Amino acid sequence: MIRFCLNGEWREVQDQAPDITLLRYLRTQVGLTGTKEGCGSGDCGACTVLLGSLQDGQWHFESINSCLVLLIQVHGCAVITVEALAQGGHLHPAQQAMVEG
């Protein structure tokens, strides 16, 4: 079983292929399609998510290419996708900047 926090909610995952990537899981099993697949090889960044790990009782986040990470590797971690950036009905500044192009 894989247990991780996705966009603020802990979830337990079972019965997934051992080679499923975080990207594929997010898009096909959870329906979080805001995380895109571009190159699939770590070059474009379309699949970027934030990955958090607990260090000294606090979450520390880094951006990762979810196409290069197996789902099993996020066990015990926190994952934040683009869908979780907007809060209170307002776009995150990064999202707003993209809208304004």
Q: Which is nearer to ligand FES, 44 or 85 (CB)?
A: 44
- Shortest distance, position 11 Cβ to ligand FES, whole Å: 22
- Enumerate long-range contacts of 13-18, CB under 8 Å, 24 or more apart: 13/71, 16/71, 18/70, 18/72
91: how many CB neighbours lie within 10 A of its CB?
14
Q: Please tell me whether residue 42 binds ligand FES under the rule CB under 6 A.
A: yes
- Position 65 contacts ligand FES (CB under 6 A): yes
Which residues have C-beta within 8 Å of that of residue 40, sequence separation ≥ 6? 67
Report, in angstroms and rounded to the nearest whole number, the Rg of the chain calculated over CA atoms.
Answer: 14
Applying CB under 6 A, which of residues 45, 53, 75, 86 lies at the interface with ligand FES?
Answer: 45
Q: Is residue 38 near ligand FES by the rule CB under 6 A?
A: yes
Interface residues toward ligand FES, by CB under 6 A: 37-40, 42-47, 65, 67
